[in-house]
Structure formats: structure tokens, C-alpha cells
Amino acid sequence: MISEYFPVLLFLAVAAVIGIALLVLGNVLGPKKAVAEKLAPYECGFEAFEDARMRFDVRYYLVAILFILFDLEVAFLIPWAVVFEDVGLPALVAMGIFLLILTVGFIYEWKKGALEWE
């Protein structure tokens, strides 16, 4: 029973070795030229420390929402594809309807200009 988990143990060991090796190699071989931005905790285009009440572009939200929508679509599609042979034609039709509704939403966002950055 426990022996069945041997591949998992192996996976953990390999992951640990690779993870540690990459960190060590980076530390030993990498050039170290410290500047303030490099030492900051996050490099995402924002100042690391500033007033919490600041403005930023609402388009970030828009992109994030659109991303989640299409992300979820994939989350639906993958389990469907896995059991596709068992569920047969009705499931194909059901997924077609789902994608049709999603396409309507896609046409809407495209036409409204949600995909234009400028």
C-alpha cells in the first residue's frame, strides 16, 4: 500500500533537488549588482511602499475579469474532455450551447472595445 506512493516520494525528492540546485547555482554563479528596484520585494510596476489609496487603471480589472471568464471556460472544458467518450452526444450539444453563450459574450466585449488597450 505505502509502496504505491513511491513515485510521489521520488517526485518530491527530484523537485527538492532541482529547487535547491537552482537557488544554489543562482547564488554562486550569478552576478550581484544590487540596486533599490532589484532588492524591492515585488517587481510588478508599482512602488512597493506608498499610500494605499492610490489610483490605478480600471483596465487592469477588466483584463482580470476577462481572464477569469476564459480561464473558467477551460476549467469546464478539461473535465468534459476527459470523460467525453462516456457522456456522448448530449454532452457535446451541452458544451456547444455553453460555448455559444460564451461566444455571445465574446462578441459583446469585442464590439464594446474591452479588448482595446488604448
Partner 1 sequence: MTEFNTRDLVTILPELVFLGSIGAILIVDLFIKPSQRIVTHVLSILALAVTAGFVWSAAPAERVTAFGGMFVVDMIATTLKLAVLLTTALALVYGRHYMQERKLLVGEFYLLILFATLGMLLLVSAGNLVTAYLGLELLALSSYALVALNRDSAIAAEAAIKYFVLGALASGMLLYGMSMVYGATGTLDLARIVAATPDVQHPNLLAVGVVFIVVGVAFKLGAVPFHMWLPDVYHGAPTAVTTFIGSAPKLAAFGLAYRLLEDGLGGMSPHWSQMLAILAVLSLAVGNLFAIAQTNLKRMLAYSTISHVGFLLLGFVGATPAGYAAAMFYAVAYALTAVVAFGMIALLARAGFEADEIDDFKGLNQRSPWYAAVMATIMFSLAGVPPLFGFFAKLLVLKSAVDAGYLWLAIVAIVFAIVGLFYYLRVVKVMYFDDAIEGGTLVLPADRPLRWVLSVNGIALLGLGFASGPLFAWCNRAFGL
Binding residues for partner 1, rule: CB under 8 A, are: 87, 90, 100-101, 104, 107-108, 111-112
**Closest separation in Å from C-beta 79 to partner 1:** 13
Cβ closest to partner 1, residue 77 vs residue 102? 102
Q: Quick one: 38 or 53, whose CB is closer to partner 1? A: 53
**C-alpha distance from residue 15 to each of 20, 36, 79, 97, 107 (Å):** 8, 31, 27, 41, 43
Residue 43 to residue 57: CA distance in whole angstroms:
18
Nearer to partner 1, 5 or 108 (CB): 108
